[in-house]
Structure 1
Amino acid sequence: MKPDAISRLGEHIVSVDQIPPSEDWRLRAVAAYGLSSDVMQGDLEPLNLLARALFGVPTSMVSVVSHHHTFFASRVGISVCEVDRHISFCHSTIARDEPLVILDASQDSNFYDNPLVTGPAHVRFYAGAPLIGPSGAAIGSFCLLDTRPRKAFTPEDVANLKLLATLALDKMELRRLARAQQASDNRFRQMSDTSPAGIICADHEGIICFWNQGAEAMLGFSAAEAEGQSIDFIVPHRLRGSHGGGLKHVAAGGKPKLVGQSVELWALCKDGSELPIELALSMWQDEGGASFGAIIRDLSGRRANEERLDRLAHRDHLTALPNRLVLRQRLDEVTRAQVDATLLVLDLDGFKQVNDTLGHSAGDRLLQDVAGRLLSATGPLDTVARLGGDEFAVILSEHDVDQGAGTVAERLIQLLSAPFTVDGLAFNLSASVGVAHYPSHGKQTDDLLSAADLALYAAKAGGRQRHCIYSPRFREAALQQHALESELRHAYENGEFRLFYQPQIDGDGRLMGAEALLRWDHPERGLQSPAAFLSFLEKSPLAIQVGQWVLQTACAQAAIWRQDAPGFRIGVNLFGLQLHNGNLAAKVRAVLEQTGLPAANLELEVTENIILQQNDVALRMLRTLYADGVSIAFDDFGTGFASLSLLKRYPLSRLKIDQSFVRNLGQSREDAAIVRSIVHMAKAFGLGVIAEGVETVEQQERLLAKGCDELQGYLHGHPMPALSFASQFGLADRLVCEIAA
C-alpha cells in the first residue's frame, strides 16, 4: 500500500488526510485512559487467552487507535506492539458501531493490497469489535487475527466477540476512573455522576465522604445513608475482620497494600445480600491526612459472561463434554508429566441414518445419549470428550494398552451397540475404536492423536464394530497412500490415464457394447491394473474429476463407434463420490449433448455397496437419469449386502452376475444355484442379465441355458485399447483424445 494509501470500509473510503472532525474529541477520550503498549497486559491477557481458545485463532489483541499509531494495550500471539494506524484493520473498525469481519483479506477488494496482508504478517482473517466508551467515542477494538482464511464467522461468533469487547472495556473503564480520581474535585464529581461504576471516597478517619449514584444503584444505599458511615459499612459482617480492617488501616495512614491494584471481594447490599465486586483503590494526602477513593464494579454479570465464554471455549455445546481443545490440554499434561495413559478415539457407525431419517434434532439427542453412556462406562479420573460430529475420545489414565485398554474399548463398543430410542423409534448403532498408548505410540500430543486416528481408520477398514491398537504399519500404509494420492494427481494432470474396452456379447455372438475400464499408464512402472490404484482413487476427491473424464471419453468413443454399430452401448462405472456430489444428472446430460451419444446407448454401472452408502439425493439423480433413458446396471450383484428391497427401490435396467459365481459354475452346485436365482430374480423384476468373467465355452453354455442375456469375459475378448477393440470388431478406428487434463 502506498504511503498515502486509503483504507476502505464497505463502499466508504477513509483517507489518511481525511480525519473526521470528531477525531480530536475521540483522541481526548483515548487520552483519558492513559494507555500505552502492554500497559494492561496483566488485566486483559486472560480475555485474550480466552478469545484465542474460543475462536481457535493464534492471535488476540486489545488495540488502541491513537493519532498516528495503533498500539496494543494487551496482546497474545503477536510480537509487535504497534503498527501504523492507517494500515491497521482497527482503523476501519473504529468507524463502525458493529464488528468488522474479514474472512479472507487477500480476496477482499478493500484489503487485498494492505501491507499486513501482502507482507510478512500474512494476515488473512480479521474480526474486530469496536471498544466504545461511555462518551460514545471509539477507543480501539478487541480483535482476532489469523494467517488462515475462514469460511464463516457466525452471528453467535459475532455476539461472543462483542461480549469479550464489553468485558475488556469494563477493565479499561476502571483505569479511566482511577485516573479521573486524581484530577480536580469538580472534574472528578462531574465524571463520577455519569459513571456506571460505583465511586466512594473516605477521609483520613475512614469515614465515607462521597457516594455517587453508581454506588447507590449497585448497593442500594443512598448517599444520605452512606456518607458519614465508617468505610467498613460496605463490608459484610463475616469479613470485617479482614477487608474492613484493612481499609481503615489505609485510611489511618498505614501501608497501602491495595493502592493501585484491582481486587475482587464481596460487598454488603442494603437488602442484606452480598455482591461480588471489583475494587480499584487510590490514595492521596488531604490536609495532612490520608484520604482515599474506591471505584467499584459489579462482577455478577461479568462473571456470568466470563463463565459462559469459558464454557463455550472448553465445552461441547451439545453434550457438555470437554471439547477437542480440552482433550489436547489433557494430553499435553500427560506428556509433560510423562505418565502412562491411553487414548481411545471412537467413531459411530450408522449415525448418518438417524439424521437422514429423523432429522438433525433427533441426531443431537442421540449424541447426548451416547455421551451419557460413555460417561457411565469410564472412571472419575478418565476424560471423555467430543471431537465433533459423531466422533468422541476417551483418555484412560490407569489402563494398560494390551489388557485394560482393549477391555475398555470392547466394553464401550458393546455399550454403544445396545439399541437407542429416539422419538419412539429404536436405532441400532455400532462404534469403531482406535487405541494409542503414551509413550510407546507417541511422545507428543499430535503424534498420539495421529496414532489413535490411524488405528481408528484400520478398525473401520477392518469391518467396523471393532477396536484396533495402533501399529507402526498403519502409519507406513498411510504414508504410502499419501504418496499414491500424489502420484494419482500427477497422473491425472499429465494424461497418464487410459481407457480399455471389454466387449459384451449376446447369445448369438453379436457385439452389443463394451464396458469402459480405467488403466494407468505409469511412466516408470508401465501399465497398472485397477488393483494397484483403484481402491485409493475411489476414496480420493480426485475420483470426481477422473470419473467425469472417464464418462466424457467413453461416451465420445462410443458415439464414433455407433456410426458402424448403431445399437452399440457403452458401460461406465461410477465412483461413490460422483453420487455424493449432487450434480451427476446434470453432468451426464451435458456429456451426452456434447458427444451426441443417445441416452439409450449409455449404461451407468454402480456396485451394490456404493448404493448402500448413498442417500436420497443419489436416488433422485439415478431416477432422473433413468427417466432420461440412461440404463442403470447393478454391478457385482450378489457379493455385497444389498437387500431385495433395493431392486424395487432403485431404477435398474439389468444385473451383472459377478465373476466369482461364474468361475466354478460347472463344479459348484451352490454357485450354479446362485446364478439361477439371480437370473430368475432379474426376469421377475423385468431386468436384463449379463454375466462377467466368462472364460470357457462350458460356462457360456451353462449361462445361456439358465437364461442369461449377455456375456462378458476373456472368452470373447480381454480389456483392450480402443484401437485394438475397433480392429477386432470392424469399427471405425478414429480415436478420441485421452488426455485427462
Structure 2
Amino acid sequence: MNRPYSDALDRLTLLAASLFRVPVSFISLIDSEKQYFRARHGLNICETSRSVAFCHHTLEQDDILCVPDTHLDSRFQHNPLVLGYPHIRFYAGIPLVTPEGHRIGTVCLVDTQPRPPLNATDRRHLAAIASLVMDRMEVHRLEVLRHSSQQRLEAISSTSSDAIICTDLKQGVIFWNPAATSLFGYSAQEMTGEYVAGLVSERSQTDYRQELARMMADRSSVSQPRRIQIWGRRRNGQEFPAEVSFSGWHEDCERLVGMIIRDVTERHESEARLCELASLDMLTRLASRSAFMDQVEHLTAAGVPFTLMMADLDGFKEVNDSLGHAAGDALLCHVAEQIRLVCAQCIMAARLGGDEFVILLAESGHEAQQVAEALILAVQTPFSYQGSPVIVGASMGIACCPEHGRDASAVMSAADLALYRAKAAGKGCSVLFLPGFLEADQQRRRFEHELEMAVRQQQFVLFYQPQFDAVSGKLTGCEALLRWQHPARGLLLPGAFINILMKSSLSLTLGEWILRSALRQVVEWRQRLPTLRVSINLFPRQLDDIRLDRLLGELTANDASFVSLEVDESMLTSLVQEVPSRFSAIRQTGASFIIDHYGRTLGAINLLQYEFVTGLKIDKSLTAQLADSGRIRMMFRALAALGKSLSMTVLAEGVENGVQRDFATQAQCDTVQGNALGEPLTPEAFQALLPERAIRPHE
C-alpha cells in the first residue's frame, strides 16, 4: 500500500478529473485502520484514518456511492474532511473489487462545491475507469508474484489468461503457455527456438529491441521487472495493442527473459473513448470547453495570432420553457451543425456550456465579422421540431490575439465584453472588441463595488413624494423614493444606479431596508393622518422571497391595507407566470398591488385578469403629452376607463400643471402626483407638510 505511485494510476486519476471536471480525484486502498491514497490528483495528503474515510461507506455497498452535497447528508456533515481540508462538498466513489470478490479500495471524485448526482452515463464512465484501475493492479499483482517466486512459473502459466513466454536470448523461446497459443495462433512446438521479435509489429520493433538491449547491458535489470506497450502481430497478420511485462533471471550462467503479454485491445479502446469524452461536448459533438481552452493556450504560448468568436443564442430560454429541454437539446445540435457548415475552415469550434458557443479562426477581426454575420443568418434559419418551426437568434462578440489580449484568459474576456455589447445593442448582431470596452467594464465594476459598499454601509435615504386625491386635492398618501447619498458625488437619483441594482442579489437586502424604513415612518405619520397611504416600489427578487408576506405582517401589525406595492409592468409580466402563489400570499396581508408605468409598453393588458392587481399607475410619458396629442388623450382616457371598469384604483403620475390635473380628474383618475403638485421631500419636510396638505394643495 505504501509503495511509490504508479504512473499509470496517476494518469487514470488525471483522466478522471478531466472527464468529470472535478478538482480532486484519487485511487485509495484500505485496510482495517487506514485509507492510503495509491494515486491522486489535486490532493496533497497521503492517508487518512479509516474511521473518517468516505471510502469506508463506499465499500459497504455494491454500487457507486454519490453524495451531491455533504452538508445535507447526516452521515458526513460533521466529518473532519468536510469541515477541514480537503473541504469535501461533493463525493462519488466506486469500490475496487478483485476477481475473487475482495473489496480493496475505491476510485473517487471530489469537489469543493455541491454538484448534481451522477447520471447513468457518468456512472458507466466511472465504472469503466474502475475496470482500468483493476486491470493495472492485476498486472501489478502478477508482476509481484513473478518477481518473488520464479519457481511457480509453470503453475501460474497453465491457468493464466495472459500469454507467458520464456526465452533464452541466444536460443529463442524455451517456454510457451496455452494462453500464448490462443493470443498469437502458434503452438508451443512451432515457437520453440523461435524469436519473439517475429511476433512484434514493425512499428514497435525499435521499442522491443531497445528493451532487450537494456536487459542485456544492465545487470540490475535481471531482477527488476519492466513493462512496455507494443503492437503485437498474430499469425494471420492482425495487429493488436499489447502490454508486455519483462523480467529476467540467471540459470546456469545464462540470462533468461520472461514475458507476460496481455491483449489490451478493450482497454486501449476504452481509454481512447474516455479521452474522446473528455475532449468533446457529447450533445453537439463540438469540442468541449477544456479542449478548446487547451487549444487557445497552445496557440498563445506559440505566439500564433488568431480570432475568437463567442456566440450566445437569443431566445433559447423561451424554447426550453415552451417546448421542453428535449427541444432545446435538438436546437443546440442544429446550431452546432450550422457552425460546422459556415465555419468549415475554422481552427476549432466548441460549446462552452448552456447556449454559449465559441469559434477559433485564423482570419483577422474584420474578416471574422463577415463570418459572424453569415453565422447569425444561418442560426436564424427556422428549425423544425416535431413539425413546428423553432426560431432563435444569435449575438456574437469578437476578439483577436494578440491585439486584444496576449493570453487565453484575456482574449476570452475581451470576446465576452464584445458579446455583452452585442446583446445590449439589441441582439442579433456581432461586435468587434474595442479597448474602450475594457475601461467601461472596469468603471462598471468599480461602480458595482461602490454600490455594494453603499448597501452595506446604509448610504441610502428615502424621500417621500406627496399623492393627492384627483377631485378634492387632499393629501392621500406618498410614494417612498430611493436616493443614494454618495460620499463623493452627492445625492444620486435611481436612474444612476437602479439598473445595476435590479440585477444584484443586494437588491433583496436593500428592498427589505426600504420596506422597514418606509413602513416604520408611515405608521408613525398615520397617528396624525390615519388615512395616509404609502406606495413602495419592489425589486424583482423581493417577489421571489418567501418572507415578504411575513415581513409585511410584522411591520404593519398584520394590517397592510394602507400599503400599495408598485411593480413595473414588464417585471410583473415575467414574474406572474413563475411565482403566482407569492402574489396571493402577499395580497392576504391587505397590501395592494399597483402596476407601475402602465401604458409604457403594450404587453400588460393581460395582467388585469389577476385579482391581486388592485390598481394601475398611468405612465408619466402619456401624461406629459396630454396637451399636445389628441390620440394620447384618447389612450389616457381609455386606460383610466379600463381600470375603473375593473374596480381598480387609477393613479396618474407626472402631473405637472393644471391642464394635466384637470384632464386626469375628468378621466376619473383617483390619485395624482407630480413635481408641480409636490416634489419628493425628506421625512422632516413631509412631516411638516402633513397639517397643511390635508386640504387642497392650491389653497
TM-score, shorter chain, exceeding 0.5: yes
Whether contact under 8 Å (1:682, 1:688) holds in the other structure is: yes
Matched ranges for 1:346-495 at <5 A: 346-398=311-363, 400-401=364-365, 403-495=366-458
Question: Cα offset for 1:143?
Answer: 4.6
Q: Report the AA paired with residue 428 of structure 2.
A: Q
| Change in 2 beyond 3 A, CA 1:354/1:623 | farther
Aligned-partner Cα distance in 1 for 2:54–2:246: 32
SS for the counterpart of 2:515 is: helix
Question: Cα offset for 1:468?
Answer: 2.0
Matching residue of 1:16: none
Question: Cα offset for 1:317?
Answer: 2.3
Q: Report the AA paired with residue 601 of structure 1.
A: F
SS for the counterpart of 1:653 is: strand
Aligned-partner Cα distance in 2 for 1:709–1:203: 108
Matched ranges for 1:581-730 at <5 A: 581=544, 583-584=545-546, 587-596=548-557, 598-614=559-575, 616-622=577-583, 625-626=586-587, 630-640=591-601, 642=603, 644-648=605-609, 652-683=613-644, 687-730=648-691
Question: Cα offset for 1:538?
Answer: 0.6
Aligned residue pairs: how many?
Answer: 684
Matching residue of 1:331: 296
Matching residue of 2:3: 36
Aligned-partner Cα distance in 2 for 1:242–1:720: 88
Question: Cα offset for 1:67?
Answer: 10
Question: Cα offset for 1:443?
Answer: 0.6
Please give the per-residue CA displacement for 1:583-608, whole angstroms capped at 9, x wherever unaligned: 45x52244225422535433222223
Matching residue of 2:484: 520
The runs of 5 or more residues in structure 1 that have no matched partner are: 1-29, 733-741
Question: Cα offset for 1:316?
Answer: 1.4
CA RMSD of aligned residues (A): 4.3
| Change in 2 beyond 3 A, CA 1:430/1:646 | farther
Matching residue of 2:133: 168
Aligned-partner Cα distance in 1 for 2:150–2:378: 71
Please give the per-residue CA displacement for 1:184-206, whole angstroms capped at 9, x wherever unaligned: 35644555567554444456754
| Change in 2 beyond 3 A, CA 1:104/1:612 | closer
Matching residue of 1:265: 231
| Change in 2 beyond 3 A, CA 1:700/1:242 | closer
Question: Cα offset for 1:389?
Answer: 1.0
Which of residues 497, 501, 523 is equivalent to 1:537?
501
Identical columns (%):
34
Please give the per-residue CA displacement for 1:347-391, whole angstroms capped at 9, x wherever unaligned: 112111111112212211111111111221112333221111111
Whether contact under 8 Å (1:93, 1:141) holds in the other structure is: no
Whether contact under 8 Å (2:559, 2:589) holds in the other structure is: no
Q: Does 1:548 align with 2:517?
A: no
Matched ranges for 1:246-285 at <5 A: 260-266=226-232, 268=234, 275-285=240-250
Aligned-partner Cα distance in 2 for 1:611–1:355: 21
TM-score (norm 1): 0.79
Please give the per-residue CA displacement for 1:699-723, whole angstroms capped at 9, x wherever unaligned: 2112223343321111221122334
| Change in 2 beyond 3 A, CA 1:381/1:415 | closer
Question: Cα offset for 1:328?
Answer: 0.7
SS for the counterpart of 2:331 is: helix
The runs of 5 or more residues in structure 2 that have no matched partner are: 694-699
Matching residue of 1:24: none
| Change in 2 beyond 3 A, CA 1:662/1:139 | same
Question: Cα offset for 1:46?
Answer: 3.0
Aligned-partner Cα distance in 1 for 2:438–2:213: 71
Matching residue of 2:266: 301
Aligned-partner Cα distance in 1 for 2:270–2:316: 34
Whether contact under 8 Å (1:69, 1:83) holds in the other structure is: yes
Please give the per-residue CA displacement for 1:516-536, whole angstroms capped at 9, x wherever unaligned: 222223344443211222111
Please give the per-residue CA displacement for 1:603-648, whole angstroms capped at 9, x wherever unaligned: 2222233235446223443355457754322212233352644544
Which of residues 573, 583, 586 is equivalent to 2:537?
573
Question: Cα offset for 1:670?
Answer: 4.9
Matched ranges for 1:222-261 at <5 A: 226-230=187-191, 260-261=226-227
Aligned-partner Cα distance in 1 for 2:283–2:603: 35
| Change in 2 beyond 3 A, CA 1:89/1:729 | same
Matched ranges for 1:2-401 at <5 A: 30=1, 36-38=3-5, 40-41=6-7, 43-62=8-27, 74-77=39-42, 82=46, 92=56, 114=80, 118=84, 129-134=94-99, 136=101, 141-144=106-109, 148-152=112-116, 154=118, 157=122, 159-184=124-149, 187-191=152-156, 197-201=162-166, 205-207=171-173, 209-211=175-177, 219=183, 226-230=187-191, 260-266=226-232, 268=234, 275-286=240-251, 291-398=256-363, 400-401=364-365
Whether contact under 8 Å (2:197, 2:208) holds in the other structure is: no
SS for the counterpart of 2:403 is: coil
Whether contact under 8 Å (2:26, 2:41) holds in the other structure is: yes
TM-score (norm 2): 0.84
Larger deviation: 632-641 or 646-655? 646-655
